[in-house]
Amino acid sequence: MSLPEERDVVIVGGGPAGLAAARRLAAAGLSVTVVDEQPELGGQYFRRPAPEVARVWGDHRPEGRRLIDAVRAAGVECRTGHLVWGVDDDGRTLLVSDPAERPVRLRGRYLIVATGAYERPFPFPGWQLPGVTTPGFAQHLAAADHTPVGERVVLAGSGPFLLPVACSLLALGVTVAGIAEAGRPYRPSLRALGAVRHPARLRELAGYAARLARARVPIWQDTVVVRADGRDRVTSVTLAAASAPARPVRTVAVDALCVGYGFRPQADLARMLGCAVRTDPATGDATPVLTPSGRSSRADVYVIGEAAGIGGAPTAAVRGLSAALDILGREGHRPRAGELRGLAADGRRLERFKSLTDALYPTPADLARLLRPTLPDTATLCRCEAITAGEVRRTAGTAAGDVNATKAWTRAGMGPCQGRECGFAVSAVARTSSDVFPSRLPVRPVAVATLLEMAGEGGPA
């Protein structure tokens, strides 16, 4: 098999964090490769619209295009359509599948993991019906593709992300029948007054609130989805008070339902690289143990952006720049003192806002307690393996609360998603303190043809 291609820095993920790091590193003269499985850079936040959509509707985030152009102009090697699915036996060479599904191996003196996040769903009876999706998917269709997920939609779950998704749908002429928020973040409180210290974010929130008010979109707080009904497609959603899920409060006619409870760091690759992780007690997520600059327990591996912890696109960009400056310092480049101070100030400001947001909305641990009683034994919990909540509950008692033993005995989390979809729910239903399933090869589904070709070239079995 051919030797791995080696660069100064290999960055996995072409979202705001990876792009910010790549541009700064390349500008200083380092050889940089960005690897991303999507056909174009940008990640979820800067996802590029299709050319046909852009010609008609324009670019929904032109700053993303400018950043991508700057990265390419700086000489960064951009390998789009390349899926990183594992790590070689040496612990530092990335196993990659190219757009033609041929095996590729990449290695960098420094490796930056900027793999982003995935949404945090929680099952309910009917969640497998056509028309039931996540807010992130609805936002992708609305913002990047200018395509509505439905004509009459309910958004549900928890977190500030539900508001901009609702506004994106309204802009397409969709009827947003309501927003069901599991917490009570929008009631007046002394804690909410902390938002005045962040005027830009406050203006953004006020803009969303004004748009929803003009469209007369109700926001039902302390409300969760308990079931969805329909034959060939979802036609109605039943909502209940989070504090009393056994008593439904309303049923709403819909043709689409978008449910999500925030986001989870996508840290599988970092864990496979041997980076130390800790279980966040508030979220149950495995988050890498990092220095302020994003350096992991492995001196040559950095974890940035949402993979380092959920914080939003501005925070992701700051984390990307921080990692880049740390690498440059180790390489003998001396960043300007003003650049370092400004970046540190931005980081502190964004961290304060994140702390405020975290305090206003229920934590994933709180959500697990709220949502667990809403899931009957007959409901499908793991869609990949068709495992019900009852099977997990019965097995968890025998497994003494060990989530990995529960996974092994029921196969919940062993399907193509490897627990990315059901891990949070399995942990909640099994009443475990963590939903950290082991990170296994491949971290993402990969074509069998790629594995066979690699084996034929003498690659790892």
- According to the model, what pLDDT value does residue 119 have? 94
Strands 132-133 and 256-260: parallel
- For residue 32, what are the domain limits? 5-118+264-359
Nearest C-alpha neighbor of 88 from the set 80, 96, 79: 96
Residue 355 shares a structural domain with residue 369:
no
User: Taking 60 as the threshold, does the pLDDT of residue 7 lie above it?
Assistant: yes
Residue type, 263: F
DSSP state, residue 438 = P
To the question of pTM greater than 0.85 for the whole model, the response is: yes
Helix spans in 74-144 (H): 135-139
Q: Using pLDDT thresholds of 50, 70 and 90, give the confidence band for residue 54.
A: confident
> What does the angle CA 80 – CA 85 – CA 90 come to, to the nearest 5 degrees?
115
Residue 375 shares a structural domain with residue 410:
yes
Domain boundary residue, one of 359, 374, 409: 359
For residue 453, tell me if it sits in a domain.
no
Residue 111 shares a structural domain with residue 145:
no
Say what the alpha-carbon torsion angle 212, 214, 215, 218 is, to the nearest 10 degrees. Answer: 50
Residue 93 shares a structural domain with residue 136:
no
Residue 315 shares a structural domain with residue 374:
no
- According to the model, what pLDDT value does residue 202 have? 74
For residue 180, tell me if it sits in a domain.
yes
Residue 339 shares a structural domain with residue 385:
no
Contact call for residues 168 and 141 (beta carbons, < 8 A): no
Which CATH number do you get for residue 342?
Answer: 3.50.50.60
Which CATH number do you get for residue 383?
Answer: 1.10.10
- Better-predicted residue by pLDDT, 132 or 281: 132
For residue 441, tell me if it sits in a domain.
no
User: Taking 60 as the threshold, does the pLDDT of residue 44 lie above it?
Assistant: yes
User: Taking 60 as the threshold, does the pLDDT of residue 446 lie above it?
Assistant: yes
302 vs 293: CA distance, rounded Å = 8
Domain boundary residue, one of 202, 228, 260: 260
Write the pLDDT tens digit of every residue in 182-209. 999 988 765 666 665 666 677 888 899 9
Could you give the strand order of the β-sheet that contains 175-181, starting from the edge strand earlier in sequence? 132-133, 256-260, 152-157, 175-181, 219-221
Q: Using pLDDT thresholds of 50, 70 and 90, give the confidence band for residue 51.
A: confident
Query: If DSSP codes are grouped into helix, strand and coil, which group holds residue 7?
Result: strand
Domain boundary residue, one of 195, 226, 260: 260
Domain count, the chain: 3
Strands 103-113 and 94-97: antiparallel
Contact call for residues 261 and 285 (beta carbons, < 8 A): no
Residue 253 shares a structural domain with residue 129:
yes
Write the pLDDT tens digit of every residue in 277-331. 998 888 878 899 999 999 999 999 999 999 999 999 999 999 999 999 999 999 9
For residue 437, tell me if it sits in a domain.
no
- According to the model, what pLDDT value does residue 1 have? 45
For residue 296, tell me if it sits in a domain.
yes
Residue 72 shares a structural domain with residue 190:
no
Residue type, 203: R
Residue 337 shares a structural domain with residue 384:
no
Residue 106 shares a structural domain with residue 163:
no
User: Taking 90 as the threshold, does the pLDDT of residue 82 lie above it?
Assistant: yes
Q: Is 373 exposed, middle or buried (0-12, 13-18, 19+ CB in 10 A)?
A: middle
For residue 438, tell me if it sits in a domain.
no
Contact call for residues 161 and 259 (beta carbons, < 8 A): no
Nearest C-alpha neighbor of 304 from the set 12, 9, 93: 12
Write the pLDDT tens digit of every residue in 351-366. 888 888 888 899 988 8
**Dihedrals φ, ψ of 34, to 5°?**
-110, 130
Determine the average pLDDT of the residues in 90-105: 93
- According to the model, what pLDDT value does residue 3 have? 60
- Tokens 């009957």: give the residue: 376
Residue 338 shares a structural domain with residue 215:
no
Contact call for residues 9 and 32 (beta carbons, < 8 A): yes
**Dihedrals φ, ψ of 344, to 5°?**
-65, -40
User: Taking 80 as the threshold, does the pLDDT of residue 30 lie above it?
Assistant: yes
Residue 127 shares a structural domain with residue 250:
yes
- According to the model, what pLDDT value does residue 318 have? 96
For residue 249, tell me if it sits in a domain.
yes
Determine the average pLDDT of the residues in 90-98: 93
User: Taking 60 as the threshold, does the pLDDT of residue 101 lie above it?
Assistant: yes
Contact call for residues 125 and 194 (beta carbons, < 8 A): no
Nearest C-alpha neighbor of 433 from the set 312, 328, 283, 296: 283
For residue 343, tell me if it sits in a domain.
yes
